[in-house]
Every structure is written in structure tokens, then in C-alpha cells.
Structure 1
Amino acid sequence: MADVGLSLGIVGAYLVVALAVGLLAYRLTGNDAEDYYLASRSMGTVVLLFTTFATLLSAFTFFGGPNLAYAAGPEWILVMGLMDGVLFALLWYVVGYKQWLVGRTFGYVTLGEMLGDRFGSTGLRALVAGVSILWLFPYVMLQQMGARTALVGLTDGAVPYWAGAALITVFMVGYVALSGLRGVAWTDTLQGVFMLGVVWVAAAWVVTSAGGLSAVGQQVATEKPEFVALGGGLYSVQWMIASAVTIAFGVTMFPQINQRFFVARDDRVLKRSFALWPVLVLLLFVPAFLLGTWAAGLGVAVPEGGNVVPALLTDYTPAWFAALVIAGAMAAMMSSSDSMLLSGSSYLTRDLYRPLVNPGASASREGWIARIGVVVFALLSFVASLFVAGGSGGGLDVLVSIGDTAFGGYAQLALPVMAALYWARTTRWGMIAGVLGSQAFYLAHVLPLPFLSLPSTYLGWDFALYGMALSLLLTVGVSLLTTAAPGENATRFTDTDGLQAD
């Protein structure tokens, strides 16, 4: 690995560039909450596509996906590259386009606000926000832990964990609190372009250094013959389908992704974005997962608890390039965390502070409360990550469990939301039953409860899918058994005359 000076120089250069972008965005960012959280719904295709891309796929691209390919083979490309690339694009159209229409018409900023207004319920609004924050907070913490761990590894321990944690937290708070979504989206775009370019350069460099594509392929076939056969081992049909469905549906409800459904400048931007999404996903995941597969065939040794990409690049590329890629991976995790901080703040301020504490808050006041929310959210996750890193265990182990299963938790929200968007017969009590029932079912399987031990699969299928089915059954069943409560507006999402694209 490169010396500490070079490594810190690469990280420092990224931080300076990102902060400069944030300061530039700050000059264009207004004080009202809509501009701060949604950049005044003005994003074009390139920025919307790449900010979604960098926010969602960054850390997994460099670490999680290649590690899985190294251990189990490259078929994960089918889950993330094809199945989730296509499935999420379809959901972006089905859920995202309808959200964009109603959000633009009625000025919604968060999912909770949208549902609370449709069903005339502050309680439902707070429930959706609470569930979203429940899954988001530990996920932010885990992203920050990963970035800080990468910084410690990048500098061979010269920068201790707590110092790296403090540096990254202060940096993110600085440009997120200042510039809001506009600054986050611009830095994400730079990060997305960098991520796409560096992973292809890395793949080409490794192949060239290892003797060419045919030589590497032959090595994989010889050392890992199971990798060249489709299916087997981890990759059962049930596992692949369950993974694809829970990830794709969960992503649509992730706050930092779901809010991006509101921000397109016009319907043409949305349509171009979800049409290009599967292409962009394949361009990223194919080389990333091949790196993990090649490393297994080439016999690259990965330290226990380590990541395959740094080990592979250390063996086959110059030290400065390996340092560049790991610095990029760390920055990629930050590009996810900054969006999560912003979205977490919006749910805290828009769905909890505004309706429950200060309903009459001005737009300007809410904008400043939003910035304070970013600071609070970041500091809480920073403190939690230090305790987890210190091995304190206890309740913080529960946070890790929740963070590791966040996609499935968010997936439980998706079908009730889709029912609300498209079925006018949906009632407030149906929504509450669907959300609470499926979340209770899912948490009972996720949390380590001493008095209850539940299986992870039923008839070979992941419990998360059963939770999703339960959410739809409860939403539809209770809605059919109840009538609309006072304050509900059944035509809010279905009045096609009022919901037209430009």
C-alpha cells in the first residue's frame, strides 16, 4: 500500500474538492426547506441519475459485491446487475413517477408527509417517519464505520479510528448542512463518474497484469470450476429471487432514494433516468463483481475481516492506484452517508418537528431546523459508531443487526405505499395495520429475542417475502373492513385531471 503521506494526500484532495462543490452549491441554495431538501425540484437527467447511482451503489460496489463474488461466484451479477437493475427501474416508474406527480402538485417533501396528507393522519405520518428512521439510523452508522475503517486501513493505522470518525463526520456535516441536496447531488455526480471510471480501469489493469482475459478466465475455471457453472451453493433460485425482490422494493422506500422521486425537473428527466438505470448498473457491477471472481481464481489471499478489492489491487496494480481506489471507496461510502443524513434530517424536521412541535413554523425557520437536524443526526450516529467499534456490545449490537437487514425492513413499506398510490379504497386503518403488522413480523425475525426463535425461511423462501405479503394482506383486508375516516381524501392520488405532467 502507498505510504501514509500519499494516502492522506489523496483523501485530502477529495475532501477539498467536495467541500468546494458544497460551498458553490451553498451560494445557490435558499433558506426554505423545499430548496434545501429537494433542490427546488430542478434536477436534470445526468445529476438525478448519478446522484441516485452514487448514493445507492457506492460502498457495495467496492466491498460487499466483490467480497460475495470472491466467496460464492459471479452469479450475484444476475441479482444486482440484471434483476435489480431492471426491477428497480420498473419500480422507479410505477412508484417514482406517481410520487413525482403528486409531490409536484401538492408540494410534498417526504413520503410521510405525502401519506399523512392523503389519509388526514398526523399519526400515520409520524409512524412512517419513525419506521424510516429506525432502519436509517443504524445504516448511516454502518456506512460511517465502513468509511472510517477504510481510512484507518488506508493509512496503516496512522490515523486512529476515533480521529478518522471525527474528521469524516465534521466534513460531511459541513457541506451537507451548508448546501443541502444540491451540494450532495453535485458531489454524488462527481463520485459516480469517478466510481464508474476507476472500476473499469482497475479491471483492465488487473487483466493486463495477470496475462490477459483468456488467461484469467482459464485460471478461474481451473481453481474455481464451480464459478463457471450457473447456480449452486449460495445461489439457489429462492435465494436469488428473494434477494432481488427485497433489495429492489426496499430501495424504493429508502429515504435518500425515495426523496429523489420528487426532484426531477420534468417528466422527461424521470423517463430518461429510469430507462438508463439498468445500463448504468450493468456498467458498474459487471467489472466490480468480476474483480472478486478473478481474485478467487488468481489465489489472492484476503485477510480475515478484510476486503478482496484492496488485496487484489495491492498484488496487481501500483501502490498509488490501489490507494486511489480505496480512497475512492471511502468517499463512496460518504456519498451514501451524506444523503442519508439529509433524508434523516428531513424526516425528523418535516414529519416530527413540524406537525408535532411547531405546526406554524415558517419555511425559513424549518430550513434552519433542518440544518440543525443534520448535525444532530450525524453526531448521534458518530457516537454510536464509536461504542460499536469499542466492542461495548449490548444495545448497540441491535443497531448493527437492524442496519444489516435494512433493505428487508424498508421492503415491508413498499406494497402499502403502492396500494395507497393506486387504490382509492385504501383507508387510514388499512395503512396503519399494513405498516405496523409487517414491521412487527419482520423485527421479530431480525432482532435477537431470547424468548423467541424464528426460522429465517419458510418452505425455502426468505421471511422478508412473507412479511411483504402480510403487509399487503393487512392493508387490503383492513381497508375493506373499515370506512374512510374524517380527513381522508381518497381522490388525492387518483384524480388524473389534477395530476398531469407538463
Structure 2
Amino acid sequence: MAETGLQLGIIGGYLLLTLAIGLVAYRLTDKTAEDYYLASRTFGTVVLLFTTFATLLSAFTFFGGPNLAYAAGPEWILVMGLMDGVLFGILWYVIGYKQWAVGKAHGYVTLGEMLGDRFGSKALRVFVAAISIFWLFPYVMLQQKGAGTALVALTDGAVPYWVGAGGITLFMIAYVVASGMRGVAWTDTMQGAFMLLMIWAAVLWILAALGGPSAATAGMGAANPEFLSLGGGLYTPQFIIGTAISIAFGVTMFPQVNQRFFVARSKTVLKQTFVLWPVLVVLLFVPAFMLGAWAVGLNLNVPEGGNVLSVLLRDTTPAWFAALVVAGAMAAMMSSSDSMLLSGSSYLTRDIYRPLVSAAGKREDTIARVGVAVFATLSFVASIYTPGTLIEIGETAFGGFAQLALPVMVALYWARTTKWGMLAGIIGSQAFYLASVFIPQVPATIMTWDTSLYGMALGLVLTVGVSLITTSAPTEKRSVYFEEVRAD
């Protein structure tokens, strides 16, 4: 009982420190939508790098990734660490830079706002926001599942799942309602540095206990020789390439990531950030996933649906150290959840509430805060009853967002794109992907390739093809994306 109290005290103290930073930032936040949602587009390189880093590296990374490495082998590093670190860095330049320039010139806050204005379409704006919120929901749920199951494993069941996940959810509601993008970014910077430090500290501690990396790898190979060879089992070329593409393209359309394309102070900040991005990703993913793979050689008692990282820490490190590392995982979860809730509320208020209810944006701040609370509460309730694993939930959301990426890229770079092409591309690809997820008769793979990739190809063909056979509506503004904009 004393151990459990110490662990919960460490995690609770960390949560309070995070809240304090957020409240300081709240006092500096202006009462404008642009400042609340985008911190008035003032982020420098360090803050933009770490807020994006911390926002993406969530419970999926700390728990889903090590679990998959534990079950299938360390090649998961290729998917998330190397391939997606590089792919997303490239997409950050291709999509992010153009979006930043357009957003800065015209004051856009959300992706739906940017597309709706360019194509003069309220329907497109609302649909992009609605489908984004739909796919965001399971990923918020993923963070809550990660937090709840981590606390169950760390405390050996003394803290039930619903208490751990519910407590974190209440904390997040209070935190996000009180703080805007500036507070989120400041705490993300602290959380990103903290979780990077703790995962490397965990690697060094555990390797010292196991006799070094050679001994740990030998133990892993003795328990499962296939883990010493590249590929095989789950890691077919189709799985590695398909998953990497779906995740990288999906990440660019995640609301909490996509809005960060708007917030850089200058072009120089953007360039420095996406160059540094792959380095930072590898520094976190390699140690986190190798811990999961090395755990195979330790004969751990990992319960079905449990988190191998929590059990590994509990069995090989002191209680206070395990609590610190789990606090780092909580940092990963919170730094994703706070951004998701903030971005979700901006999509809800600016792209659904404004066009459909109040064009003047009356009571927008109140609606945003109520939306945060409702969204977080519903996702928590769903996390209790959903049968999906962390990996399944995360992959479903990535694939859904990936369907948006190619139509958006076409719109940003091809002036001939029409409203009807955009609607056809986005609706067609989403309908196909939704069918593959929810209708048993539609296969999840076609010729061993994930249907997410076919949905992306369908979206591209429909966007280009329908645009070629339709004319621009009078309300469309082609010049919005192609007029001269100041780079800095």
C-alpha cells in the first residue's frame, strides 16, 4: 500500500505541475479565437518541434508500440521510427509549408475553414470537420485506454481502470478548458523533454540490470529466434510499407497536428523544425520499442490486454522509478489529449457551429468549452466498453485521416481543382474506407495490401477526374492558394 501511495503521489505531483504551467499560460492568452486556438501564430523552432513531438507521441507510442514489439518483434521501429519519421518530415514540408503560407495570408484557423473558403462550399467545410471529429474520437479514446491500463498494471490492480482513466479525463477537461494553444504548447515542450529523458533513463536502468544490450538481445533471441532476423511473421513488405504510408499521411490530417502547420512564426522556423523532426522521432521510438522486444526474454507475466512496459518496469526497477516513467507515459497521453480536445473544439465551433447555427460566432467560447467536456466524457465511456486493442483503434483512426491527405494536397497545388472534385474525392474515399472497417463483407486487405491505400488512391482519382469534367462554381476563389504571399 505504501508503494502504491508513493507511485500515485509522484504521478499526481507531475499532473499538478503540468496544470500550473497551463494556468500561467492561460493568464497570457488573449480573448480571441486566433490566440486561443493558434497562439497568434508565434511559435519558434523549439516550441513548435516539441509541441508536435509531444502531441504525436501518445499512449500509442508508449504502450501500443512496445506491446506490438513484444508480440511480433522489433521491426516496428522501421514502421514508426525510421519510415514515418522521414515520411512525415517530407509531408510536413510539402503540405505544411503551403498551408502555413495560405493560413497566414488569410487568417485561417482550421483545415475545414481553409478548404471551405477556397471552394466557396459550406458543405465541404462541415463535412471535413465532421469526418475529422469522427476519426478523432477513437484516438482520444486510445489515450484514455492507455492511461487506465497503465495505472492498473503499475499498481497491480489497486487502481481500477475506470478510476485511472476517469481521473485523467477529468484532469484533462479542467486543463483544456482553462488553457488555450499557448498553454498546451508550453506544457508539451516540458512533457516532450521529460518523456524523452525518462524513456532513455529506463533503457539504461533495465540494460544495467540485464547485463547490457548484448545480454538483453541474446535473451530475446533465445526466447524467440525470429526476433533476431529482419522481416517475417507480421512484418511483410506490404505491412511495413502500407502501415508506414497510412500513418504518415494520416498524421498530416490529424486536427491537432494539422493545426500546427498554421502556428509557426516564420518560414525559417518551419524549415528547421521538419529537418530536426526525424532525429527526435528515432530518439524516442528506438528505445521504447526495443524495451518491448527485450522483454520477451524475461518471462514476464503480462496479462491479456495489459501493457508490457508497465509490467517490465514493475518487475525490474524500484517503485519510484517505475512511477516516474509511467508519469512520462502520462505526459505522452496528456500532450496528445489536450491538443486533440482543443483542436476538436475548434473544428466543432468554427466549422460546424458557426456555419450551421451562428454565422457571427456568438457564444463560441462557451460552446468550445462545453464541447471539450462532452467529447472527453463520451470517449471515456466508450473506452470502458470498446473491445478493440490499442493498436486496432490507432490504426483505424490513422487510415481514416489518411483518406483526406491526397485531395488536400491536390487542392493546395493544382488550380484546376473544383468543389465537386473535392467533394467526390473526400466522400468517395471515406465511404470506401468506412465500408472496409465496419462491413464484414468488404475485405480489410486486397491482394495483401491494406484497403486504406486503395481508399487513398480512389480519393486521388476522384478528385482529379471529377475536377477535369466539372467547372468551377462562381463562389470558388482559385487565387486564394496561388496568389503571392509573404514568406516571413
Distance in 2 (CA, whole Å) between partners of 1:400 and 1:233 is 17
8 Å CA contact retained: 2:206, 2:317: yes
Please report how far the alpha carbon of residue 150 of structure 1 lies from its aligned counterpart in structure 2 after TM superposition: 2.4
8 Å CA contact retained: 1:219, 1:297: yes
Whether 2:486 is the aligned partner of 1:500: answer yes
Distance in 1 (CA, whole Å) between partners of 2:216 and 2:145 is 34
1:483 pairs with one of 471, 476, 479: 471
Please report how far the alpha carbon of residue 402 of structure 1 lies from its aligned counterpart in structure 2 after TM superposition: 6.4
Encode CA deviations 1:150-179: one digit per residue, 9 max, x unaligned. 234434444444433442222112121111
Matches for 1:348-363 after TM superposition, within 5 Å = 348-361=348-361
Flag the 1:359–1:103 CA change in 2: closer, same or farther, 3 A.
Answer: same
Q: What is the aligned partner in structure 1 of residue 8 from structure 2?
A: 8
Distance in 1 (CA, whole Å) between partners of 2:295 and 2:472 is 58
Distance in 1 (CA, whole Å) between partners of 2:390 and 2:53 is 26
Q: What is the aligned partner in structure 2 of residue 168 from structure 1?
A: 168
Distance in 2 (CA, whole Å) between partners of 1:462 and 1:400 is 15
Task: Point out the more displaced range, 115-124 or 404-413.
Answer: 404-413
Please report how far the alpha carbon of residue 456 of structure 1 lies from its aligned counterpart in structure 2 after TM superposition: 1.9
Number of aligned residue pairs: 488
Q: What is the aligned partner in structure 1 of residue 208 from structure 2?
A: 208
Secondary structure at the counterpart of residue 3 of structure 1: helix
Aligned-pair Cα RMSD in Å: 2.0
The letter of the residue matching 2:179 is S
Q: Give ranges in structure 2 of 5+ residues lacking alignment.
A: none
Q: What is the aligned partner in structure 1 of residue 27 from structure 2?
A: 27
8 Å CA contact retained: 2:350, 2:361: no
Distance in 2 (CA, whole Å) between partners of 1:220 and 1:401 is 25
Please report how far the alpha carbon of residue 400 of structure 1 lies from its aligned counterpart in structure 2 after TM superposition: 11
Task: Point out the more displaced range, 418-427 or 159-168.
Answer: 159-168
Secondary structure at the counterpart of residue 459 of structure 2: helix
Q: What is the aligned partner in structure 2 of residue 436 from structure 1?
A: 427
Please report how far the alpha carbon of residue 288 of structure 1 lies from its aligned counterpart in structure 2 after TM superposition: 0.8
Whether 2:471 is the aligned partner of 1:467: answer no
Please report how far the alpha carbon of residue 328 of structure 1 lies from its aligned counterpart in structure 2 after TM superposition: 2.4
The letter of the residue matching 1:73 is G
Q: Give ranges in structure 1 of 5+ residues lacking alignment.
A: none
8 Å CA contact retained: 1:401, 1:446: no
Distance in 1 (CA, whole Å) between partners of 2:317 and 2:168 is 27
Flag the 1:368–1:34 CA change in 2: closer, same or farther, 3 A.
Answer: farther
TM superposition score normalised by structure 1:
0.93
Matches for 1:287-326 after TM superposition, within 5 Å = 287-326=287-326
Whether 2:347 is the aligned partner of 1:347: answer yes
Secondary structure at the counterpart of residue 433 of structure 2: helix
Secondary structure at the counterpart of residue 492 of structure 1: helix
8 Å CA contact retained: 1:88, 1:249: yes
Flag the 1:196–1:2 CA change in 2: closer, same or farther, 3 A.
Answer: farther
Please report how far the alpha carbon of residue 403 of structure 1 lies from its aligned counterpart in structure 2 after TM superposition: 5.8
Matches for 1:230-241 after TM superposition, within 5 Å = 230-241=230-241
Whether 2:455 is the aligned partner of 1:457: answer no
Q: What is the aligned partner in structure 2 of residue 379 from structure 1?
A: 377
Distance in 1 (CA, whole Å) between partners of 2:82 and 2:24 is 37
Please report how far the alpha carbon of residue 90 of structure 1 lies from its aligned counterpart in structure 2 after TM superposition: 0.2
Distance in 1 (CA, whole Å) between partners of 2:24 and 2:280 is 27
Please report how far the alpha carbon of residue 223 of structure 1 lies from its aligned counterpart in structure 2 after TM superposition: 2.8
Distance in 1 (CA, whole Å) between partners of 2:232 and 2:394 is 28
Flag the 1:319–1:26 CA change in 2: closer, same or farther, 3 A.
Answer: same
Please report how far the alpha carbon of residue 232 of structure 1 lies from its aligned counterpart in structure 2 after TM superposition: 1.0
Matches for 1:5-404 after TM superposition, within 5 Å = 5-361=5-361, 365-386=363-384, 388=385, 404=395
Task: Point out the more displaced range, 159-168 or 454-463.
Answer: 159-168
Encode CA deviations 1:185-223: one digit per residue, 9 max, x unaligned. 111111111110111111111111111222222223333
Give percent identity, aligned residues only: 70
Distance in 2 (CA, whole Å) between partners of 1:216 and 1:403 is 29
Flag the 1:402–1:479 CA change in 2: closer, same or farther, 3 A.
Answer: farther
Please report how far the alpha carbon of residue 399 of structure 1 lies from its aligned counterpart in structure 2 after TM superposition: 13
Distance in 1 (CA, whole Å) between partners of 2:236 and 2:381 is 39
8 Å CA contact retained: 1:67, 1:292: yes
Encode CA deviations 1:295-316: one digit per residue, 9 max, x unaligned. 1133333222211112222232
Secondary structure at the counterpart of residue 351 of structure 1: helix
